[in-house]
Amino acid sequence: MFASQQGNLEQKKEEFCRRNEEASSDRCLAVLMELSEELDDKINEGSYSVPGGYQLFQDDRKDMVEKYRLVPGKGIKAEAVLQEFLKNKESVGNSILQMDKSLTEKEKEMEAQRARAEAAEREQKVLAQKQAELEQLVEDQKRSYEENLRQLGEKMEDDREKLLEEQNRILDQKLKEQADLLREGFQKQANQLQEEIRQLREQNEKIKKPSWISTALGTLVDVASCVLPGIVGRPLAAASNFIRRLF
């Protein structure tokens, strides 16, 4: 009789424990389902499908666990149900981790490509700036040479006029001497002066021609442009054309 009563008590105890565990499991699972709604929504919305998403997932999961442990009256199955729940979420966490690694690598590659593109753009700008500076240098040199040659041409023109004046003075003097010799009957001496007079007139005709200056300056520039190639030679060549147009 006593053994029978003891057996009944044991069965009732086991039944009570079973029901208590079931109630605890149901309560804990209900709490977890409620607390994990936000986590599940973020998973479904792809909130963790970004570089660094796995860390965000871990932070939210940790926050959910902390909130779960603060809920009272969960019973004896509180920790067991939590661990089982977290275990079921491991596959989701692993998927997010793999996605995070893939996105992080892609982001690194994109960042590297962006850096290379920016470096190439900077280099292109530097080259363009150097080219612009070189072109400006060439243009400045061209203007400088043209101005120097123009001034040289003006000086040569002034010297030519002075030379012509001196040549004409000498020619007038020779003509006067020749006339005096003829008037005094010195025909032979007068004939000798005639050759000097002819040479003076030829020299004057050559000096009078404008091409005299153009030829002199053009030859000077042509020689310089051959001897000094590159950025110096180019403006010299341009200056040569300028001088030929000027004179």
Complete DSSP assignment for the chain: -HHHHHHHHHHHHHHHHHHHHHHHHHHHHHHHHHHTHHHHHHHHHTTTSSTTHHHHHHHHHHHHHHHHHHSS---TTHHHHHHHHHHHTHHHHHHHHHHHHHHHHHHHHHHHHHHHHHHHHHHHHHHHHHHHHHHHHHHHHHHHHHHHHHHHHHHHHHHHHHHHHHHHHHHHHHHHHHHHHHHTT-HHHHHHHHHHHHHHHHHHHHHH-THHHHHHHHHHHHHHHHHS-HHHHHHHHHHHHHHHHH-
Q: What is the C-alpha separation between 158 and 174, in angstroms, rounded?
A: 24
pLDDT-based confidence at residue 241 (cuts at 50, 70, 90): low
Do 134 and 235 lie in one domain? The reply is: yes
Do 82 and 133 lie in one domain? The reply is: no
Is 116 contained in some domain? Answer: no
240 and 149 in contact (C-beta within 8 Å)?
no
Is 111 contained in some domain? Answer: no
Chain mean pLDDT for the chain: 81
* pLDDT the model gives residue 59: 95
Angle (nearest 5°) at CA 208 between 202 and 210: 130
Residue type (1 letter), 107: E
Is 95 contained in some domain? Answer: no
Do 133 and 237 lie in one domain? The reply is: yes
* pLDDT the model gives residue 231: 46
Q: What is the C-alpha separation between 182 and 203, in angstroms, rounded?
A: 24
Do 77 and 136 lie in one domain? The reply is: no
Domains contained in the chain, number:
2
Q: Looking at 58, 88, 118, which one is the last position of a domain?
A: 88
Is 123 contained in some domain? Answer: no
Do 80 and 135 lie in one domain? The reply is: no
Do 133 and 241 lie in one domain? The reply is: yes
Do 134 and 226 lie in one domain? The reply is: yes
Record the tokens describing residue 221, joined without a space. 């520039």
What's the mean pLDDT in 69-93?
A: 90
pLDDT-based confidence at residue 215 (cuts at 50, 70, 90): low
Is 184 contained in some domain? Answer: yes
Do 154 and 233 lie in one domain? The reply is: yes
Is 20 contained in some domain? Answer: yes
Do 156 and 66 lie in one domain? The reply is: no
What's the mean pLDDT in 26-44?
A: 92
Is 99 contained in some domain? Answer: no
For the stretch 15-32, what's the b/e string if a residue is b when 16 or more beta carbons lie within 10 angstroms of its beta carbon? eeeeeeeeebbebbbebb
Q: Looking at 32, 55, 88, which one is the last position of a domain?
A: 88
Is 108 contained in some domain? Answer: no
Q: Interhelix angle for 78-88 vs 2-35, to 10°? A: 50
Q: Which domain holds residue 46?
A: 2-88
Record the tokens describing residue 222, joined without a space. 């042509």
Q: Looking at 27, 57, 88, which one is the last position of a domain?
A: 88
What's the mean pLDDT in 188-215?
A: 79
